[in-house]
Amino acid sequence: MNCPGGKGMLYKEIFWMACDSTEQLRAEYGPFRTRGEAESEARRLGFGYLLRYEHMLDENEEIQEVRCIFVELPGTVRGNLCFVSLHTRCATCGESATHERPLQAEVWADIHEFEHSRHRVRLFEHARGQGLKEIAGWRAS
């Protein structure tokens, strides 16, 4: 492929990722060399999307351009995966943890805020196919 402006040849490198959503804060797994490998792993993980990365490389194998293409897997029903995980993250120092139950998140936050005065812990919910969402005001209740 010729580079615009006559600067030589560009070569395309393609790899695939399995991902749970098209949101910016998404879970990605891979890379895979073929779509088939990525699709198989995406279905195993319960992910509904593939992400195709195209890297345009120059003659020195330096990346000149990156293209990302999302592919929705056929037969995937959005919303059929109800697994939700909770993520706590300190807004002050960035320390984080993952929890299966709200009580675990509450205890982690209490301990962290007790051990580190003036730190504030935020809570996020991650549902497959929907990305991360902050739960605002969770400590007020």
Tokens, residue 63: 């990346």
Choosing from 33, 48, 72, the residue where a domain stops is 72
Residues 65 and 88 in one domain: no
Total domains, the chain: 2
Let me know: does 66 contact 54? Beta carbons within 8 Å: yes
Mean pLDDT of the chain: 83
What kind and span of H or E run contains 107? Answer: helix 102-115
Q: Is 48 exposed, middle or buried (0-12, 13-18, 19+ CB in 10 A)?
A: buried
The answer as to whether 53 is a domain residue is yes
Residues 36 and 67 in one domain: yes
Over residues 60-81, the pLDDT tens digits come to 888 889 999 999 998 765 544 4
- Banded pLDDT at 17 (limits 50, 70, 90): very high
Residues 26 and 66 in one domain: yes
**Domain housing 115:** 84-134
The answer as to whether 129 is a domain residue is yes
- What pLDDT, on the 0 to 100 scale, is given for residue 81? 46
